[in-house]
Structures are given as structure tokens and as C-alpha cells.
Chains A and B, each alone.
Chain A
């Protein structure tokens, strides 16, 4: 049980100066700078013939990079409907993946900010052995990943604080989306990147107009939910991966456990997790999706039957979604329906801000104050300084 201070000015002073919150704010200015930098880099490599003939794309990474590989599936499906896109966890790709006899038309993207993550490098080597064309998507242009890959897609990210990998997640997502659009350009001969930029700006502006309100909402909730023992995140389809990213941030920042489930698994199992008062439930919902009725049914049941406290991050008011029970609502903009695949650019930010405020609330240092290399080295290397 934590003791609440009477005046929230005390909290505000700490919360809004926290380095992780500053990283969240930094996405605003980083967005378009990084867009242009990634476009500049993609133009240097896109003439490689494999991008024109590829029939299958595999994307792999570890941790946040792994999540980003799954989160951009919608973009590849939108731009390259005739190409099969698969996110594959690096451990699976390196140790278990069932390669075809002929992989000459397969491109594998290895996402790694530092370029030194060992499992990602192992997966890259395994792909090379099977004749897959490998692409390093990295900011470490002299790294092992960069050196070992057939093609280097250099992210060229502006310097900044990347502790807990918030900025780098954005960079991975935007770089991969830009690659999908650039591949579509060379395969169809039609311009794609200009239109993409217009849509990214549109979504960026809509999202960051709400940024302060979202931050205030997360601030109030973090204090209100001070005594929660764990968290549960419900998101379907492409938003599920934003949930996984938020789960990772909760672990890294405040050290809290956070379950992530889609609405079906929640309905079947996860509603039984914990008891009333202990769990903070968070729903991420895009009103363009076809899962609305199922999610609203669950939201009502969570509160009425489960006596849970629920946050709804959505682009529409609870009443408009037929949520009759009381939920704490935070308006989160989504892209226009046709450009839904851009949602992974920003939609994780409210949850990430909450995770950051949570770590300030309970006074828990990020990464528990550092980590012991004895424990997970030599197979694991984090981009944070040891």
C-alpha cells in the first residue's frame, strides 16, 4: 500500500521531468525528421533487384524489435498484397524455422537498434545459410548485423536518450513502413512515399494535438491506480502488438507484470485473473475495426460482473460504442480507416506514458537500477550501458 500525497503538484514536478516522459514527448519532433532520414536511406538500397522480385518477407528481432516486426504486418499487406509477410521471433528463426528448399525470392529483415543482439545475428546467419537475402535494419552501421547482412538499411537516427527504447521503437516502425512503401513504388511504378508522408503528418498532428490531455489522463490514473498489483491489457489484431510493447515497458520501467490478451482470450480465460481491486484493466480499441461489439460486451461485463476498474483508450466515447458501464475514457486518435496500418506509429504512447508515470509513482528505478551482466550475458546484450 502506497501513501498518496495530498497535493498532486508534488507528483507533477517529478512525473513531467522524468526522462522517459521526455522520450515520449520527443517522438513528436523525431517523427518527421526520422521519416526523411529513413526515406533517404531506403532510396540508397531499393534498387537492389531482390526488392522487386521478393515473394516472401520475414522480419525478425528481439524484445522491442521483435514486437515492431509483428506490428507492421498491416503496412506490408497494404503495400505488397502479393507478398507474404511474416514476423518471426529470432529464437524461432535461428533454431526452429522450417526453411523452403529454394528461398531465393525471400527477403529477411533483421531489426536491431544496436546491431549487436546475438540471437538476431544468429537468425541472420541461419537465413544466409538457406539462401535468403538478408537486410540489416539498424542504427549501428558498423555493427555485426550490418556487416553480416547482404544489405544495410541504416536508420540514421538523431542522437537522443534511448533508455528503455521508446524512440527506437518508433524508428523501427517508421523505417519498416517506409520500406514497404518503397518496395511498392519499384514494383508498381507508382508514387507511394509522398502520399505516405502526407498521411503520417496528418496522423501525427491529430495525435500530438491530444498529447497533453493523454498525459494528464495517464498522470491522474497512475496516482489513482497506485495500489494495483498488476495490469491487464486487451487489444485485438494489429493493436495487440502495441499491447505487447506496453507490457515490455511496464516490465522495464516499473517492473510490474502486465498480461496482454485479445478480447477472445480475455473472454475465455483472462477475466479470471486476479480479483476486484487488484487489477487495472486497459482496453485499446479502434472504432474502425469489426471487433467493437465483442469488446464492448467484455468491457460491460468487466465492470458489472467483475467489478474491475477499466481504462478505455479509443477514438470514440464509450456511449457511442455502447459501453453502458462506467469506464475511465481517454480519447486517442487513430488514422483514417484506409491508413489504419499507421496506428502502430503512435498508439502505444498512452500506455507507455502510463508505464513511465507508474514507475515514478511507486519510486521504482528503471531496469531496477541497472542489470547484472552475470545473469543474462553472454547471450543477451541490452542497448543500455552496463
Chain B
């Protein structure tokens, strides 16, 4: 397939992800290094964390929020959209019942969105809380405004910035969360180091299948190359991976793309005209509590003959079960559900892209964006689109 098309985005983007993941994990999961960024006494005081960023950076903080909460032991964490934070977030909402030393606002700014990051820092400074900037820049005015700065050197040769920066951002966020967890006695220093290792091991495990995944994404891009509309369906932290994939499809192929959760899809998007012309990408973990809901949504999409790609750690059979006929009563009305006589004809068939099982569910966003990322790259290539209009 690749010889036919003479393209290989894997080489340019994530071929070395496993190796680089280890390097950045070793660098970030280092208590001494983080001690220099934010001292123990300051880290101990934190009770509430707000994380924000623009574009891909926003997806990264959102995707890592469940992991950050778990590892830091801080329940009161959220990740508002940067526009909301800058223009609509009151001092009351930011501080809640906490003192100013107990509130930390983390700004992720890898993608040079200087204006909005600076707005966040100035706003937080004005309200008196502490700011923590995660960046890859060594010289920037934001450094002067931030109380703490973690510089992540993401410069890696022959690596696609978008994918690598996104991965590195997530690693940085989780390292900071785990670091706070150490001083809140949620994790021991040994466990702190193990978290970094565990993410790296998971990434390497995922990378074992990357050649197959890459080939599959090219095939899928070929299958869907005529499509100009897409939707990415995902729940919980996968919804941020979905947003990232959406962004890449728009940036690379300039197509229409949106992301939505499994329930809202069934209330809104199912009514879209020409469903067989709308490509669907589903991200779902086998252990996700909304798996049963997602299956119903998947069946619905297939019944509408939507071209579908499922990225999951679950087995194929989970999505290809025959529908069971049953009668149900809803709203006092009897609705007859009859089994289809010829299900092969009525229901479409999804392509399932298997990814490695995450040791813990919060880790899956480290890799589950990669198939969609590659798909977006190949789709753009096949649509003869040169991608970014920037």
C-alpha cells in the first residue's frame, strides 16, 4: 500500500516515540529536578489546581486530568477552556474556599499561543494565586510572569512536532501531578518514578503494533478518502483524544470534523443528512463504564451505513454481536424491536484498530490519539491536501 502511494508519515512522526518517551520520562520523573521548579513546601500547600492551554495544549491537559487527580490526590482540579478562563472565570470560581497559596493554575504553552497564555498569567497574578508554566521556550516574557516554570525540551530530530509535543505535554502534566502526590503522601518517591516507567512501558507496548496500525490507517484513509465530513465519538478522558484527532483532521485535510460523546451522538448527530457520507472514528476503552452505551451508538451508526473506524483495546467480537430482538416499553409506548432478517446487509461493518491495553485507564490518552493522527495525515495526503493553511 505504501509503495503504491509513496508516503510514510510514520517515519516522520512517531517512529521513535518509544525511545524518546523513555528519555523524556527520565527527565521529567525526577524529584530533584522538580524540586528546583517548585519547592516541597509550596507543593505541599496546593489544594486546588486549574489547568488550561490553547489548541493541542488544551487537549493534553484535559486528557490527563483524571490521571492528575488520581496521582496528586487533589479532587478539586479542573481544566476550563482558555477562552472561558480568560474572559468568564471569576475570582470566586478560581479560589473557591481556598487561600491564594493553595490554588495553582497550570498553563501549558508549547504551541506559541503567546497572547492567551500571557492573559492567563496576568489574570491569575492579579487574583493572587500561583502560576505554573509548562513550556519549551527558554526566552519568553511569560517566564517573567509565571511563579514556576517547567521547561520541557521537546526538540527531537525527524519528529513531527504536533504528535511529539502533544505526547510530551501529557507526560509533563502527569509528572507534575505525581510530584504533588509525593508531598501529599499519595505516592512514595519510588512509586513516583514507577509511574513514569509505567507510561513508558505502555508506550513501548503500543509501539510494538505500530507498523500494522500505520498500514491500517493508510487503508482506512484510502477507504474514506472521498469524505469531507467526520465525527469522532468518545467519552470521558478519551473525549480529549477525540478533540485532538478532530483538530488534526481539520488542520491536515481541511474537512468538517466535530467530536461528541456516545449519548449526545444518539440525540443529535444521528439526524445528520447523508450518514453514509460522514466518517466516524470511535475511541473506547474496554473497561470504560460507558462501553455498553458506546456499543449501542456503534450499532446505530452501522445501521445508518456510516463508514466507521474503532480505536480500542477491546476485541472485535465486542462490536460485532448480533442485535437481540426484544420488545421494550418506553414512555408508556410499546416499541417492537425485530431482529433484522439479513443483518449483513442492514448493518455495515466497522474497521477495528487494536491498541495495547492500558495498565490504568487514565494512561490510554498517551497513545490512543496516534491512529487518528496517522489517519488524518494519510487522508490529507490522499486528498492531495497540503494541510496547514497557516
A interface residues, Cβ below 8 angstroms from B = 62-64, 66, 77, 81, 84, 89-92, 95-96, 98, 100, 114, 116, 118-119, 143, 229-230, 236-238, 247-248, 251-252, 254-257, 259-260, 262-265, 268-275, 289-291, 364, 367-368, 371-382, 386
Contacts and interface: CB of A to CB of B under 8 A. Distances in A.
Contacts of A81: 92
B69 A98 contact: yes
22 contacts: A91-B262, A98-B69, A119-B263, A236-B87, A237-B83, A237-B87, A252-B271, A256-B272, A264-B81, A264-B116, A268-B54, A268-B55, A273-B256, A273-B257, A274-B254, A289-B87, A290-B87, A376-B266, A376-B297, A378-B328, A378-B330, A386-B333
B337 A374 contact: yes
Contact of A368 (B55, B236, B262, B271): B271
A264 B83 contact: yes
Interface in B185-244: 228-229, 235-236
B83 A262 contact: yes
Contacts of B337: 373-374, 377-378
Contact of B236 (A96, A119, A274, A382): A96
Contacts of B114: none
A135 B11 CA distance: 55
Contact of A269 (B250, B269, B273, B338): B250
A372 B337 CA distance: 10
A64 B263 CA distance: 12
Interface string B68-107: 0100000100000111100110101100100000000000
Interface of B: 54-55, 69, 75, 81-84, 87-88, 90, 92-93, 96, 113, 116, 228-229, 235-236, 247, 250-251, 254-258, 261-264, 266-274, 278, 288-290, 293, 296-297, 299-300, 303-304, 323, 326, 328, 330-331, 333, 335, 337-338, 340, 388-389
B229 A291 contact: no
Contacts of A364: 273
Given A263-B83, A273-B256, A386-B335, A66 B251 contact: no
B388 A255 contact: no
A171 to B, nearest CB: 17
Instruction: Kindly list the 5 A-B residue pairs having the minimum CB-CB distance in the complex, ordered from nearest.
Output: A255-B273, A63-B267, A91-B263, A95-B289, A268-B55
Q: Is the interface of A mostly helix, strand, loop or mixed?
A: loop
A377 B270 CA distance: 12
B267 A62 contact: yes
Find the residue from A114, A254, A257, A386 having the highest chain B CB count within 10 A. Answer: A257
Contact of A230 (B87, B229, B340): B229
Contacts of A91: 235, 261-264, 290, 293
B331 A376 contact: no
A381 B331 contact: yes
A291 B340 CA distance: 52
Contacts of A378: 296, 326, 328, 330, 335, 337
B55 A273 contact: no
Contacts of B258: 257, 259-260
Given A255-B274, A269-B251, A275-B254, A95 B264 contact: no
Contacts of B247: 268-269
A374 B331 contact: no
Contacts of A116: 330-331
B271 A259 contact: no
Nearest to A64: B267
A306 to B, nearest CB: 9
B376 to A, nearest CB: 12
Contacts of B255: 273-274
Contact of A380 (B256, B261, B267, B304): B267
